[in-house]
Amino acid sequence: MRVAVAGSIATDHLMSFPGRFAEQLVAEQLHTVSLSFLVDSLEIRRGGVAPNICFGMGALGLRPVLVGSAGEDFGEYRSWLERNNVDCESVRISELLHTARFVCTTDADHNQIASFYTGAMAEARLIEIGPVAERVGGLDLLLIGADDPEAMLRHTEECRERGIPFAADPSQQLARMPGEDIKRLIDGARYLFTNEYESALIEQKTGWDAAEILRHVGTRVTTLGSQGVRITRLDPDADGGVQVLKVPTPKEETKADPTGVGDAFRAGFIAGLSWGAGEERAAQVGCMLATLVIETVGTQEYDLRRGHFLERFAIAYGDDAAMEVSRHLTA
């Protein structure tokens, strides 16, 4: 299964605030907030939704194609990704702008305040998907993640025109996109990835209820934080009925940093689909990979050790499930 992932390419500047944001906010002054947080630590990490997803897929033995725009400062990052099974030949390098920056502060309750500098990401709208597919001998799936909004819409339209199956994962860009653009972005998607809040936001902005959205997408994959994931699709055997599958998440050993957890889930889910596993098993792989990420500071700093992964997978989902995954997971 040939998979490409389009989305932001960025570096993450991650800081930790030892207090609680809620304790610093004055209800009567929320219209004029001016706050500065003295943080305890700063970690500069590789990030961006597309490389995060690609890295996770590479760790699971696949070789995904990264599609996005970066600056001339991307050289070291490119080398890292290529050493971790990621095809970077379709990354556009800007001659004028630096690679995008994600700056995030996390408090003691794992709440986050973040800013994102677009940089070279703005040039992603210039990327054509056709030549990418042609170079790799065709695409079985393109995941369109958070990116320059014009790029997201262009990639979606091109997938529909060329008959390339795609997954819609608008995430952070939902807040700025109007309802009509969101409709264009998700219509015809084989999979629609969101968390619970984003799922509700799509319904609010588009005016489509849950049933209407399912008439426009193949499957909704909704992550539920510590509660796992919910997968919904129309039931072909019941008029207006819906099939619902819920998959729990393994218990984490520690909560180090939630950044990139959703990206890791998507990586594991798509890897499972690429192996030919069903959606339930794919979701289990996604949840297990997401658990490894929340236990690690940084979105690409986790170490996927085969034996450790399978041992924890068996505890969470049973020996038979672990045996099935073991046939696909490389050493």
Q: Which residues are catalytic?
A: 263
* Nearest Cα to Cα of residue 127 among 52, 69, 51, 54: 69
- Structure letter (DSSP) for residue 98: P
Q: Which residues contact 90 (CB under 8 A, 6 or more apart)?
A: 4, 65, 66, 67, 127, 131, 132, 135
Angle at 31 between CA 36 and CA 182, to 5 degrees: 95
Residue 162 CB contacts under 8 Å (≥ 6 apart), including other chains: 129, 130, 133
Whether residue 116 contacts residue 146, with contact meaning beta carbons closer than 8 Å, is answered with no
E strands, 107-203, in order? 112-117, 141-145, 166-169, 191-195
Cβ–Cβ < 8 Å for 306, 298: no
Cβ-count burial 10-36 (b if 16+ within 10 Å, e if not): bbbbbbbbeeebeeeeeeeeeeeeeee
287 within 8 A of 229, measured Cβ to Cβ: yes
Tell me the sheet residues that pair with 100: 10
The DSSP symbol for 296 reads S
Separation between Cα atoms, residue 309 and residue 89, nearest integer Å: 30
Nearest of 59, 63, 119 to residue 90 by alpha carbon: 63
Q: How far apart are CA 106 and CA 260, in angstroms?
A: 13
3-state percent breakdown (helix, strand, coil) of the chain, nearest 5: 45, 20, 35
